[in-house]
Amino acid sequence: MLGTASQWAGAAEPALLKVGALRLASAGPLFIAQHERFFQDEGLAVEIRYFDAAQPIALAVTAGDVDLGVTAMTAGFFNIAGKGALKVIAGQAAIVKGRPGDVLMASNAAYAQGLRRAADLPGRSLAITQTGSSFHYELGLIAAAENFDIQRVTLRPLQSVSNMMAALKTGQVDGAIVSPQAAAELAGAGEAKLIAQVADAGSYRFGALFAASKVLDARRDAVARFVRAYRRGAALYNEAFFGSGARRKEVALMIAAHIMPTDAPSDRVAQRVTEGAYYVAPDVPLDAADVQRQVDWYRSQGFIDATVSAKEIMDLTFAR
């Protein structure tokens, strides 16, 4: 039986869990739960370690460098999970039409040369983090919606989000799919042009909270308490950005402390976080059918094994 929050809060030695994340607003529920002491309420000490791309987080969880990860699911992630090393235990962010989400942008030079909409991508170059990344999958959604062969786009795997942005700003690539946070920064500075919303091509749940299978076996109780606190963070995140707006500025500044340390005025910082806030459902649900669609696409591209199954890599026992 799991202890109550008050019982765990009084424990002498909090259970330590290390979590890998990106410095993006999509990890906001994690940052909020840390700031609001929701983890401490559950008798946990949580250490957040930051990465610059999604796939390395899955590798770090597998290697035992961190216990859990919260980021986008990639081909590499699915291959690792398919071998039994990882399990998805809760959702994260989603691309949903009408909500903030990833954006297709053109470099200023490419825009001047006619890259004005998603249908203009064939024959152009596009920056991504790694082959098989969530950005790669999103290009697949765009290609299907615009009815062009994805092979007609030249991919430039640059290993990190910061490298992608630098290449886009300097015109080393024609385009990139970036977070709403990055899109607001680039467009605001006049360094790139927004040409399409990924959600216009299709919706999907791109993010997940996942844990190493060996951690689930050895520390299931601690992970269950982590998920409870994480869901509390997601509920507050959703209420701030997509509900009543209560505590919006305060919540935005909590997230900003993790993703954009800056001396800029607090109103401007809060606005930038709000502009970059992906949609996150309040109870961060899992959707096996949607994950299976992602698995099927990656398999169709030759990126993952035929044996990978969404149901096999998800642990639904942490759901309410």
Q: What percent of the chain is modeled with pLDDT above 70?
A: 96
Question: What percent of the chain clears pLDDT 90, i.e. is strictly above it?
Answer: 76
- What per-residue confidence (pLDDT) applies to 299? 94
d(CA 47, CA 25): 18
Q: Is the dihedral of CA 13, 14, 19, 25 positive or negative?
A: negative
The whole-angstrom separation of Cα 270 and Cα 124 is 35
pLDDT band at 264 (very low <50, low <70, confident <90, very high): confident
What's the pLDDT band for 185 if we cut at 50, 70, 90? confident
DSSP labels for 52-70?
SSSHHHHHHHHHTS-SEEE
Asked if the model's pLDDT at residue 316 lies above 80, the reply is: yes
Chosen CATH of 5-94+205-318 out of 3.40.1550.20, 1.20.1250.20, 3.40.190.10, 1.10.287.1120: 3.40.190.10
* The predicted structure's pLDDT at residue 260: 80
pTM passes above 0.85: yes
Average pLDDT of the residues in 148-161: 95
- Within 10 Å of residue 246's Cβ, how many Cβ atoms? 10
Q: Say which range, 13-27, 149-163, 260-274, 302-316, has the weakest mean pLDDT.
A: 260-274
pLDDT in tens, 199-247: 999 999 989 999 999 999 999 999 999 999 999 999 999 999 999 998 9
Instruction: Say what the pLDDT of residue 6 is.
Output: 46
Res 193: pLDDT: 97
| Residue indicated by tokens 């202890």 | 3
Query: Residues 122, 128, 131, CA angle at the centre, nearest 5°?
Result: 95
Average pLDDT over residues 248-261: 91
What is the spatial distance between Cα 313 and Cα 78, in angstroms, rounded to a whole number?
8
Q: Degrees (nearest 5) of the Cα angle 59, 65, 68?
A: 75
Given a contact cutoff of 8 angstroms between Cβ atoms, the answer to whether 44 and 226 are in contact is yes
Q: Which CATH superfamily is domain 103-200 in?
A: Periplasmic binding protein-like II (3.40.190.10)
Read off the pLDDT band of 29 (50, 70, 90).
very high
Which residue spans of the chain are classified as CATH 3.40.190.10? 5-94+205-318, 103-200
